[in-house]
Chain A
Amino acid sequence: MRKLLSGNEAIARGAYEAGVTVATGYPGTPSTEILETLVAHKDEVYCEWAPNEKVAFEVAAGAAIAGARCITTMKHVGLNVAADPLMTLSYIGVVGGMVVCVADDPGQHSSQNEQDTRQYARFAKIPVLEPSDSDEARRFVKLGIEISETYRVPVILRSTTRVSHSRSLVALDERTPSERPVGFEKNPQQFVPIPVWGRKLRLDVEERLARMAAAASTSPANRIEWRDRKLGIVAAGIAWQYVREVWPDASVCKIGWGYPFPDTLIREFAAGVEHLLVVEELDNILEEHIRSLGIACEGKNVVPPTGELSVTRLRQSRAAMEGGEIVVAPPPPDDLPARPPMLCPGCPHRGIFYGLTLHDVLVTGDIGCYSLGVFPPLNRTDIILCMGGGISLAHGMDKAGEPRKVVGIVGDSTFFHSGITGLLDIAYNRGSSTIIVVDNRTTAMTGHQDHPGTGRTLMGEKTAEVSIEAIGKACGIHRVTTIDPYDLKRVQEVLNEELAAEEPSLIISRAPCPLHQRKPHGPPRIIDPASCKNCGMCLKLGCPAIERHEVISINALLCTGCGMCEQLCRFNAISVTEE
C-alpha cells in the first residue's frame, strides 16, 4: 500500500516497522511530529516526552542496553544538550538497536542557528544515515536499527526540515518485532567505562569504525549511478534530489550512509569520472575527506556553504563551474510587507511584556513563543542564547555589575528543560535577578506538547503535575509570586515590588495558551468610535487584532476577548461586543 506521508510520519512508520518498543524525545521543530505520529501505536510502542533531550537520550540508551529497540528524537540544537551521553554511549554501546533521529534546519526556518549534525557522527565515531525523501526515511530507520544491532552502536538518522516536512509516497511494510528478550546481561568491562576499561573501549571504537566503513561501501544506502563520465557528483542526503534535477546527465555517487566514510566506493567512483564535484548541505565534511584521500574535487568553491540548497541555487553553481554566464533568477519582490510571526491575539505573554515596557530593565529571553516579545511595540527581549539560558544569563549580567535590573524570562516547558539549574545557581550564589516563568500550561511554539507541569503524558495518561512554585522554593528562592497576566494592574503591582527587591525573586505568570484551549478567553471587544480619542494607547500591546487605519478598530474575527486593551483605555471606549 502507498501512502502520502511527511518525512516525520515516515520516520515514525519506520520505527514501528523496525519493531521499536521505546520512543523518547523532546519537542523541537522540525522533529516534533515523529513521536506525535508514533504514539498512535502506543499499545506496542512506549512513547514519552522527556523534560529535555539529554534525558530523552539517556532513557533510550537505558532501554537499548536492556535489549529493547528504541528511537530518540530531537532537533539539531537538542543534540548539543544530549552530547554528553552521546559521546560515551559510543564507547559502551547498545544491545537492542538505537536510532538517534536528529532534524537539522538548514536555512534556519525555525531555529536560532544552523548546525550540521554529521559533525556529531564523526565526533562520536558513530554512523550517520541521511534520507532524501519520506520512503527512504522509513527504510533508513530500519537500516539504522540493523546497523545498530550489528555493530552495537547508536546510529544517527540526520533529517532536515525539507525531508521532515515534505510529503511524498511511501510503501508500507509489516512490523518486525525483535526476537531478543529484554533483560540486561551484566558485563562491567563493557558497561562501566572507568578508565581501566574505558581505554580498552576506546580502541574498540576505532576498530569498529574500520569494520563499519567497509560495510558502508557495499551498503544499499550508498550507490553509484553511472551516466556520462565527464562529470561525477558525490551527493549526500536530500542534495541528491537537487543534483538529479540540475545535472540529469552526470554520474552520481549517492550517499545515504555518510559516516564512517565509504572510501572504497568513493575511490571507485572518482576513478571512473574525469571531474569530481561534491554536493552536500551545510558543512564540507565529505569534500574535506575526499581531498584527504588524495582525490581532487570541487565542492564549496561552487556550492553554497550556508543555508538550504535548492535547484535554483545549484543551477547557479553549475553556471559558475561551466564558466557560462550566471543567470541569477529574479529574487522575490522586497517591497512587499513581510508577515512576521507575532504573539497571537489574546496571548497571555503580552501582559508580562507590556508590564515590562514600563520599567527600565534588561530582559534575557529564551527559546519559545515569548522570543516574539522582541518585536515592536513591546521590544522587551534583549538577548537570547539557548534553551534555559534566559535564567543563567540574567545572573551573569547581574554579577558582572550591569547597572540596570536584569529580568530573565523562560517558558514552562523551558523551565523544566534546563531552567531549574539556572535558578538553583541564582539562589545558591546569592544572585538578585527577577525570573519570570511565563507558564501557558503547554509547549506552545512546537504545537502544544505536554510536559511535567501539565499533568498529562504523551501516552494520554494522567500524571503528577509538577509545581513550579514548589521547585522555586525548594531551590532556595524565598520570593515566589503567582499572577494572572491578563490582570494588568496586578502585573504592575507585582513587577514594582519584585524588581525593587534586593534578593532573587520568581514570578510565575500563569494562564493557558488560548490556541491550545481552542476557545476564546471572553467575548470579543469593540471600540466605540464616539469615545475613542485615537490616542493609540491600546496599540502599545502589539495585538494583531487591533488595527489602525483612519480610526482604530478591533478585528472581531481575531479578537479572543482577553480584555487587556479594555483595561488600558483611559476613555472607556473599549467594551464587550453588544449581541
Chain B
Amino acid sequence: MKCDIIIAGVGGQGILSIATVLGRAVIAKGWRLKQAEVHGMSQRGGAVQSHVRISDQPVASDVIPLGGADLVVSMEPMEALRYLPWLSTDGWLMVNKTPVENIAVYPEVEPIYKEIETWPRNMLFDGEAMAAEAGSARALNMVMLGAASIILPLEASVLEAGIQAQFAPKGEQVVETNLAAFRAARALAEKRKSELE
C-alpha cells in the first residue's frame, strides 16, 4: 500500500498542519511517512508545496516523482495547475476555488476552472465558504483534508483523532470547528466520488 499526495498553496495557508495531522494518523497506524517541503525564501508569500508519502513499507525518496501522485490537493486554483505534471493519470485533483491574488498578473480564473474540470477525477469547490460555515475561514486546511480523506488509506476516525490532538491546545471550540470543516468536506467528496463513478 502506498499513497502519494501533493498539497499546494501559498505560504500562510496552513499546509504544514495538514501534513502534521496526516503524520499523527500514520504513526497511530504504525505505518511509514515522509513529508517534504521547501522553506527559505518561499515563506514570503510564495508558492508552497508539500509532498506527503504514506506507505506500510519504508518510503525512499521524500519527493514524489513526476506522474506519481495519487492526489493533488490545492488550496488555490492557479497553484493546482502548477502541480498537474506530478499527478498520475488516474489520480485525484481537489481544488479550493478562491484565488490568492497576491501577484500583479493573476490569470483569468474561469479558464483555470475549466482546465481543472477537464481532469478525469476532479473536485472543484468553494472550500473557503465551507470553512466559514464550519466556524472559521482558517479551517480551510481541514476542509481540504476532509475532501482528501475519501481516497486516503486511513479511516476517518484515525484522522479525526489526529485533528483532535493537533488543535486541542487551542481549545475545544477550535477542535470542533476543524472537525466540522473536515466532516462537511468529506461528505461532499463522497458525493462527488459517486457522481463520477
Contact = CB atoms under 8 A, between A and B. Distances in A.
Interface of A: 2-4, 29-30, 109-110, 133, 161-162, 165-169, 238, 241-242, 244-245, 310-312, 315, 329-333, 336-342, 344, 369, 372, 445, 447, 544, 547-548, 555, 558
Contacts of B62: 133, 162, 166, 168, 238, 241
Given A166-B34, A333-B84, A339-B47, A310 B27 contact: no
User: At the interface, is chain A mostly helix, strand, loop or mixed?
Assistant: loop
Interface stretch (B63-71, B124-132, B140-148, B153-161): B63-71
Interface stretch (B90-98, B101-109, B165-173): B101-109
Nearest to B31: A169
Contact of B102 (A241, A333, A558): A558
A339 B103 contact: yes
Interface string B22-62: 01100100001111111111111111000000000001111
B106 A337 contact: yes
A338 B40 contact: no
B66 A329 contact: yes
Given A133-B34, A167-B19, A544-B45, A162 B39 contact: no
A238 B61 CA distance: 8
B53 to A, nearest CB: 9
A4 B35 contact: yes
A339 B63 contact: no
Given A336-B107, A337-B107, A342-B44, A165 B84 contact: no
Contacts of B59: 168
A92 to B, nearest CB: 35
Contact of B37 (A165, A336, A339, A555): A165
A339 B104 CA distance: 10
Contacts of A110: 38-42
Given A241-B62, A312-B66, A369-B44, 11 more contacts: A110-B38, A133-B62, A165-B39, A168-B34, A244-B60, A311-B61, A311-B65, A338-B47, A339-B47, A339-B102, A544-B102
Residue among A2, A133, A339 with most chain B CB within 10 A: A339
A310 B103 contact: no
A167 B21 CA distance: 13
B4 to A, nearest CB: 11
Nearest to A161: B38
A161 to B, nearest CB: 7
B78 interface: yes
A330 B85 contact: yes
B180 interface: no
B174 interface: no
Contacts of B45: 339, 341-342, 344, 544
A398 to B, nearest CB: 30
Contacts of B35: 4, 166-168
B3 interface: no
Nearest to B112: A336
Contacts of B19: 167
A338 B103 CA distance: 8
A310 B63 CA distance: 7
Interface of B: 10, 19-20, 23-24, 27, 32-47, 59-63, 65-68, 78, 81-85, 101-107
A273 to B, nearest CB: 20
Contacts of B20: 4
Nearest to B115: A333
A336 B63 contact: no
A169 B36 contact: no
A333 B86 CA distance: 11
A329 B33 CA distance: 25
Contacts of B66: 312, 329-330
B85 A337 contact: no
Contacts of A333: 81-82, 84-85
Contacts of A332: 82-85
23 contacts: A2-B27, A29-B39, A109-B38, A109-B40, A110-B39, A133-B62, A161-B38, A165-B38, A166-B62, A167-B34, A168-B33, A169-B32, A238-B62, A245-B60, A311-B65, A311-B68, A312-B66, A330-B66, A332-B82, A336-B78, A337-B78, A337-B105, A547-B104
Given A329-B67, A337-B106, A167 B23 contact: yes
Contacts, number: 128
A165 B35 CA distance: 9
Nearest to A28: B40
Contact of A547 (B40, B42, B63, B101): B101
Nearest to A446: B40
Contacts of A167: 19, 23, 33-36
A241 B32 CA distance: 14
Given A110-B41, A161-B38, A333-B82, A4 B61 contact: no
Contacts of B47: 338-339
Given A169-B27, A336-B81, A337-B105, A310 B40 contact: no
A277 B44 CA distance: 40
Contacts of B106: 337
A341 B27 CA distance: 34
A165 to B, nearest CB: 6
Contacts of A445: 41
A236 to B, nearest CB: 15
Given A310-B65, A329-B67, A330-B66, A341 B38 contact: no
A544 B105 CA distance: 12
Contacts of A447: 39, 43
A210 to B, nearest CB: 34
Contacts of A548: 104
Closest 9 CB pairs of A and B: A110-B40, A329-B66, A311-B65, A166-B62, A4-B23, A341-B41, A29-B40, A166-B36, A245-B60
B38 A4 contact: no
Contact of B63 (A133, A311, A372, A544): A311
A339 B46 contact: yes
Contacts of A168: 32-35, 59, 62
B14 to A, nearest CB: 15
Contacts of B105: 337
A312 B42 CA distance: 22
B46 A340 contact: yes
Contacts of B27: 2-4, 169
A555 B102 CA distance: 9
A30, A167, A337, most chain B CB atoms within 10 A: A167
A104 B82 CA distance: 26
B141 to A, nearest CB: 17
B76 to A, nearest CB: 10
B63 to A, nearest CB: 6
Given A167-B34, A310-B65, A341 B85 contact: no
